[in-house]
Amino acid sequence: MMNIHQPVYLEDKLEEVESSGKLAYRSQTLPTWCPGCGYFSIVEGVSKAMTDLGLNQKDTVCVSGIGCASRFPFFMNTFGFHSLHGRALPVATGIKVANDDLTVIVVGGDGDAFAIGGAHIPHAARRNIDITYILFDNGVYGLTKGQTSPTSIVGFKTTTTPYLNVDQPLNPLMMLLSYGASWVAQAYAGEPHHLTEMIEAAVAHRGFSYLHVLSPCVTFDKTSMTYKNLGMTVRPLPGDHDTSDFAAAMAAAQNTDLPQLGVYFAKERPTLADGLNEIAARAEATV
Ligand SMILES: Cc1ncc(C[n+]2csc(CCOP(=O)(O)OP(=O)(O)O)c2C)c(N)n1
Ligand code: SF4
Predicted model pTM: 0.96
Q: How far apart are CA 200 and CA 44, in angstroms?
A: 12
Look at residue 124 and give its three-state secondary structure: helix
Over the stretch 211-253, which tens digit does the pLDDT of each residue have?
999 999 999 999 999 999 999 999 999 999 999 999 999 999 9
If you count them, how many residues does the chain have? 287
Over the stretch 90-120, which tens digit does the pLDDT of each residue have?
999 999 999 999 999 999 999 999 999 999 9
Q: Where are the beta strands (DSSP E) in the chain?
A: 60-64, 79-82, 103-109, 132-137, 140-141, 147-148, 183-188, 209-214, 235-236, 260-266
Q: Is the CB of 117 under 6 A from ligand 1?
A: no
Question: Ligand 2: which of 30, 41, 68 to mutate, most ligand atoms within 8 Å of CB?
Answer: 68
The DSSP string of 160-186 is S-TT---SPPP-HHHHHHHHT-SEEEE
Average pLDDT over residues 41-47: 97
Question: Ligand 2 atom closest to Cα of 109?
Answer: 3
Q: How far apart are CA 171 and CA 134, in angstroms?
A: 16
On whether the CB atoms of residues 186 and 168 are closer than 8 A, the answer is no
Question: Ligand 2 atom closest to Cα of 219?
Answer: 7
Q: How far apart are CA 188 and CA 216, in angstroms?
A: 9
Residue nearest to atom 13 of ligand 1 (CA): 141
Q: Is the CB of 217 under 6 A from ligand 2?
A: yes
Q: What pLDDT is stored for residue 133 in this prediction?
A: 98
Inform me whether the pLDDT recorded for 278 exceeds 90.
yes
Look at residue 112 and give its three-state secondary structure: helix
On whether the CB atoms of residues 218 and 139 are closer than 8 A, the answer is no
- Ligand 1 centroid–CA 189 distance in Å is 20
All structural domains of the chain: 31-286 (3.40.50.970)
Q: Is the CB of 149 under 6 A from ligand 1?
A: yes
- Ligand 2 centroid–CA 218 distance in Å is 6
Q: How far apart are CA 98 and CA 230, in angstroms?
A: 40
Q: Which of 41, 43, 205, 213 is nearest to 131 (CA)?
A: 205
Question: Ligand 2 atom closest to Cα of 69?
Answer: 3
Termini Cα distance of the chain: 74
Q: How far apart are CA 55 and CA 75, in angstroms?
A: 17
Q: Is the CB of 141 under 6 A from ligand 2?
A: no
Residue nearest to atom 2 of ligand 2 (CA): 217
Q: Which ligand is nearest to the CA of 31?
A: 2
Over the stretch 180-192, which tens digit does the pLDDT of each residue have?
999 999 999 999 9
